[in-house]
Structure 1
Amino acid sequence: MTDAVVDPVSIPVPRSARPDRLLRRLWRHRSSRLGLILLGLILALVVLGPWLTGGSPSSDMAYQNLAASLQPPSAAHWLGTDQLGRDELVRLVLGARYTIIIGLGAVATGVLVGLPLGALSGFYRGWVDLVVQRLVDVVLAFPSFLLALALVAVLGPGLRNLIIGVALTSFPRFVRLIRAQVLSVRERPFVEAALALGVSRGRILWRHVLPNSMTPVIVQTPLELGSAVLTAAGLGFLGLGVRQPTPEWGTMLGESRDFIFSNPALVTYPGLCIVLVILAVNLLGDGARDVLDPRLRSRIKIPRRRRT
C-alpha cells in the first residue's frame, strides 16, 4: 500500500455563483429581467445618447441661449428648454453619463476597499478584526448622507470628490457583509483540509474562502448602486455635485427648483430619470437575492426552457 500525495492546489472548491449560470437565472426571473432591461436601456442611452440627440458636451445645444429659454417641447427641442435656453433632452442624456459614472465609481471604490478589509477582518480575527471593526463603527456612527456632505464640502465640488464622498458611505456595509460571510466559510471542511495539507493562510483566503463568500456581495452591489445614485443626486441638488455647466441629474433638479410651479417639467424629467435608475437596480438586486438565496429559491418557481 502506497501513500497518496495530494496537491493542495488541486483541492476541489465549490463556487458560490458561476457567471454564466447566474445571468441565465437572472434572465428567467421576472423581477431581475425587468431590471436588466431597464438598466440596459439606460446604459445604451449613456453610450449612444449623444449621437442619437445630436448633442455633445461641447455642443451649443447643451449651453445657454437666453433667447430660447423656457420653450415648450417642439421639433427642435423635444423636451423643451430650461431657464437658460439649454436643450433639456440633451442635458438629460449627458447627465445620465455623469450620474452613472458617479454611481459605478462610488460602488466600485466601496467594493475595492470593503472586500479586502472585510476578508482580512473575518479570516484572521484578533487585532486585525478589532482595528477594522472599530474603524467601521466610527464611520457608521454618522448618518451616511451627512458624512458624504461633510467630506464633499471639505474637498470641494467635482466628479472625483463626489465619488470619494459617496464611496465613504458604502464601504462599511461591504466590510460587514464580507466579514460575516468569511466567518462562516472559514469553518467549512475544505478550508480545514487545505490547512491540514499545509496551504498558506493567505492562499486559502484569496483562492478559496473569498470566492465562496461573494454571493451576498453580488446581491448587495446593485442596491448600493441605487443608494449611491440617490446620494449623489442629493449632493448635486445642494450644489455640491459636479461643477456647472456640466449636466448631472441632481444638479439639474437644484437649478430648476425655482420653476417647480411655473414649469414643473424641468423638475419632473431629471427626477423621473433618477427614479428609473433606482427602480432598475433594485429590481435587479431583489431578483439576484431570490435566485442566489437557497431559502428563497425553494419558495419561488423560475421557469425553465423546454427542451425540443
Structure 2
Amino acid sequence: MRKLILAIGLTAVILVGCGQENLQRSNPLDPQFGGNGVVQGSFYLNGQPMSGVTVFTTPATKIATTDAGGTYMLSIAPGTYTVLAQAPWFNPISSTQQAVIAGSTINVNFNPPNMTPNYQAPCNPEGFENYISATSPGSPWSNTASGGTVFVDSSTSSAGIKSCRFDSGSLANQYSKLELYGLNTTGVRVSAKVKTDQVSLICNMKIGVTNMNNQTTEFGFDGSAADYVKYLLPSGFTGTPFVSPFPACNEWYYLYFEVNYEDRTARFELWNQNKTIKMMDSGTITFSGTYRSIDKFYIKNSNYSQGTTINTYIDEIEIIKK
C-alpha cells in the first residue's frame, strides 16, 4: 500500500511539472519557445490597415511583415529594443524602447498621422540650390560626360534659384551625363522638371535608373519617336506613346516614372510644368524577368546630329526608394 501511495504521489508531481503552459513552451512552433518573448501589433495609416510593412528591431533580431490586416508578430530573445516599421516608399518610424521578457507578450502599434518619403539624397525638391554656380555638381554626383559639359546654372530654373544645365557637345553621339550611385532598392519613383532647346529629330534627353546587371529603365525626349517621347523598360522593351499637346522648345515639363521590380510593373507620365495638364500617361505596364537591385540614377543629354549643341536643363529632381 505504501508503494502504491508513493507511486501516485510521484505521478502527481510529474503531472504538475508538465502543465499546459510548460507543454506549450516545449513546442518549437510556440513563439515563446526557448525563453523568447513576443512583440506584436499592427500598422495603420490614415485609419486603414497597411500590408507589406517591414517591422524590425534595433539591436537587430528578426524581421516581420504586416499581413492584410496590418498585423505582425516577432519572437525575440529577452532584452531592450526599439521597434521600427518601414512602409514601402517611406522612411522608417520607431517606437520607444521596449523591454522584452521571456514568456511575455507586449503590444507595439503604429498609427502615424503622416510619413516622410524615403528620399534618395541629394535628390529632393530643393534641386541644385546647394551647389556652386558654373561648376559641375560635386559629390555624390559623378560627371561622366563625353564631349559635352554639365554645370549648375543660376540663370535658369523651374522654381527656386538654380538648375543643372547639360550641353550635349556639337558632334554626333557626344553627350553630357550625371550619375548617382548607391540607390540599392527594388523600386523607385522618379520625377524631375526638364527643359530643352531642341524638341526635334536631334534631341535625346533621358532620366533613368540602372540595376546591377546594367538593365535600364528610362524616360524622356527622343527625336526618333513619333511624338518625341520614349520610355525603356528593364526587359528591353521600348514604347513611343502618343503625346498631347505636343511638347515645345524652351518650356519646362514634369517627367515622372515608377518601376517596381517586386511586382514587375512600371508607369510613365508627362505633364506641363505646373501639373495641370497631363500630356501622356502610359498606365501600369507589366514586364517579365528577374532583376537585381537598382543601383544608379542618371541624367543624359546626347546628340543625334553633327554640328548642333543641344542644351537641356533639369531641376527639382526627386527619387523616392521603395
- Please state which band the TM-score falls in when normalised by the shorter chain: under 0.3
Normalized per residue, the structure richer in strand is: 2
Normalized per residue, the structure richer in helix is: 1
Query: TM-score, normalization: structure 2?
Result: 0.23
Bigger relative CO (Cα 8 Å, ≥ 6 apart): 1
